[in-house]
Structure 1
Amino acid sequence: MAHDAADRPATEPRSTVLGLVAAGPHRIKVRAAAQEDPASPVVVLLPAMGVPARYYRPFVADLHAQGLSVVTFDMRGQGESTPPAARGVRYGYQSLIDDVDAVLDLVASLHPQAPRFLLGHSLGGQIALLHAASHPGRVQGIVLVASGSVWFRSFTGVHRLRILLGTQLVAALSTLFGYWPGHRLGFGGRQAVDLMQDWARQARTGRYRLNGSATDYEAALRTVRQPLLTVSVSGDKLAPRSSVDHLAGKAELAPRTARHYSRSAAGAASLGHFSWVRNGGELSRWIRDWIAAIAPNAASWTTSAPK
């Protein structure tokens, strides 16, 4: 089903700064496009590797138009978050998971009546699911959009070899340089060496064993019981359906709804790992309907949301 421009929000919603999250030298500015109803569900959006939160503004507007409050922030070292990744600035997946928990603390303090959901894109989806595994009960559900395992065997054909060689080369260069200079090399933005090592290890082994963490994440993932919505995207070579299935399959007890966002559903001539963000009107409806089915106060906020 195609959708024309009349289906899109006319303007971006007003965004306000909720506060700052601090961990050591790191400062993360948290923003929100909130609904007037304090009980409206809150979606906390976790960006992809190297992608600033501002890139998601069109999709934030789509979600907000569906009656959802949307919280955004930049991952460590990205966008408004400081300091940037550099030699001697160390953090990995575990630090990003801890940051999500601090953001949820802030959201809970300001929106105590609202059910909370994590929505992760690419790396953000991995972090969202790992957070849910290690912090049970903090959110009511997890949405993964264009987010899959990096394990090379979850890809098909020649892409298996490309993923394996590419991820290990990135990790090796990150170790050599003391950080990943993706802003100069055209992939992933500036990233800390520990993060790229965590990423490459999962690509090589298929398992989450994180630098600086004693948590058995593979075991923890098997205990996740929150509802899970996974969305693969047409034309996405970085997170094909096989990759999405491998990541979601780690949460074997989670009730899963799996959807595929096609060009016809989006009303777009082409889609991919990143371009879906600017063609997310129908996807935002899917997310609204999924949340409405599981949110405790769905009846009170969906009555005024567009159909």
Structure 2
Amino acid sequence: MSSAFVEIDWRGRRVRIEHAWIAPERRDAPLLVFLHEGLGSLSMWKDFPHRLCQAAGARGLVFSRPGYGRSTPRPAAETWDVDFMHRQAHEVLPALFGALRIDEPVWLFGHSDGGSIALLHAARFPASVAGLVVLAPHIFVEEMTVANIEQARHSYLTTDLSTKLGRYHDDVDSAFWGWNRIWLHPSFRPWNIEAEIEEVRCPLLAVQGLDDEYGTLEQIRGIARRVPQTQLLELPDCGHSPHRDQPEAVIAAASALLRRTPGG
């Protein structure tokens, strides 16, 4: 994707956000906004946003959150707080939409941490969200999640993982340590957004692989118990990244939800 940059004011400083549009000429089509995972970026989505937008007849906006991709890196001394996903949902997303002059209800498509951020934004700003698709979201912390994030830390320190991730981030340490340190901090263990997501009012598709190494099916089934309109898609032969492991199934389900939703 050919990316551009826009600046926002966030946490008392100017932050540059890398972003790219998909099919902006479809002026009357729904707008899908893609929210990447905890180690993701604009480029790490590869061609999936294009494929989904094409199948759904939608426009798309893909961006790298602060600290990721080619967006402004996290300052070396800055550590993220327990509310880091809330800040992205309640502060960064509204600022980005304002800077890009987006004033219509959007569809949020979020993966992992991005799915949690999408849920939090939809709960706080229901009028601004037309629908949600969340892949492997987190609504509480599980021991298996922490264990595999600890394994990721070990791999980052002892293997070529940093080199591989460096293909997708200008400052790979900014991306990795911001995410890894807060998830492994003891203060993060009680993190839980189950009560907050009960305020979600829009159509919602929650997707998870049966072989997800970062969370159990209780993550999306917990969403369904609290958000009655939730549709679940549980995929076999699929790990933590359904859009990579089972892209056709995800595209079909997400496109169908858009078609069934008035205005979508």
For the aligned pair, the TM-score class normalised by the smaller chain equals 0.7 to 0.9
Moved more, 68-77 or 81-90: 81-90
Q: CA deviation at 1:16?
A: 5.3
- Once the two structures are superposed, residues 226-264 of structure 1 have per-residue CA deviations (whole angstroms, 9 ceiling, x without a partner) of 111101124222133222223x147x245111112345x
Classify the secondary structure of the residue corresponding to 2:232: strand
Partner Cα separation in structure 2 for residue 72 and residue 123 of structure 1:
15
RMSD: 3.3
Check conservation: 2:146, 2:184, Cα contact below 8 A.
no
Paired position in structure 2 for 1:236: 212
Paired position in structure 1 for 2:182: 196
- Once the two structures are superposed, residues 121-162 of structure 1 have per-residue CA deviations (whole angstroms, 9 ceiling, x without a partner) of 00100111011112221111111112233422xxxxxxx4x4
Q: CA deviation at 1:26?
A: 2.5
Partner Cα separation in structure 1 for residue 8 and residue 108 of structure 2:
17
Alpha carbons of 1:184 and 1:80: their partners in 2 closer, same or farther (altered >3 Å)?
farther
1:289 to 244, 256, 259: 256
Paired position in structure 2 for 1:133: 123
Partner Cα separation in structure 1 for residue 134 and residue 179 of structure 2:
25
2:43 to 36, 54, 61: 54
Partner Cα separation in structure 2 for residue 130 and residue 200 of structure 1:
22
Partner Cα separation in structure 2 for residue 190 and residue 121 of structure 1:
16
Partner Cα separation in structure 2 for residue 64 and residue 88 of structure 1:
36
1:93 to 80, 85, 100: 85
2:132 to 126, 132, 142: 142
Identity across matched positions, percent: 20
Partner Cα separation in structure 2 for residue 288 and residue 200 of structure 1:
39
Classify the secondary structure of the residue corresponding to 1:282: helix
Paired position in structure 2 for 1:120: 110
Partner Cα separation in structure 2 for residue 260 and residue 193 of structure 1:
26
Residue 190 of structure 2 aligns with an amino acid whose one-letter code is T
Q: CA deviation at 1:33?
A: 0.9
Classify the secondary structure of the residue corresponding to 1:143: strand
Pairs within 5 Å for 1:170-181: none
Alpha carbons of 1:69 and 1:83: their partners in 2 closer, same or farther (altered >3 Å)?
same
Q: CA deviation at 1:35?
A: 4.3
- Once the two structures are superposed, residues 88-133 of structure 1 have per-residue CA deviations (whole angstroms, 9 ceiling, x without a partner) of 36562232121122223345x25x5x64111110010011101111
Classify the secondary structure of the residue corresponding to 2:258: helix
Residue 133 of structure 2 aligns with an amino acid whose one-letter code is V
Q: CA deviation at 1:219?
A: 4.6
Alpha carbons of 1:28 and 1:142: their partners in 2 closer, same or farther (altered >3 Å)?
same
Q: CA deviation at 1:21?
A: 3.2
Residue 95 of structure 1 aligns with an amino acid whose one-letter code is R
Structure number, greater radius of gyration = 1
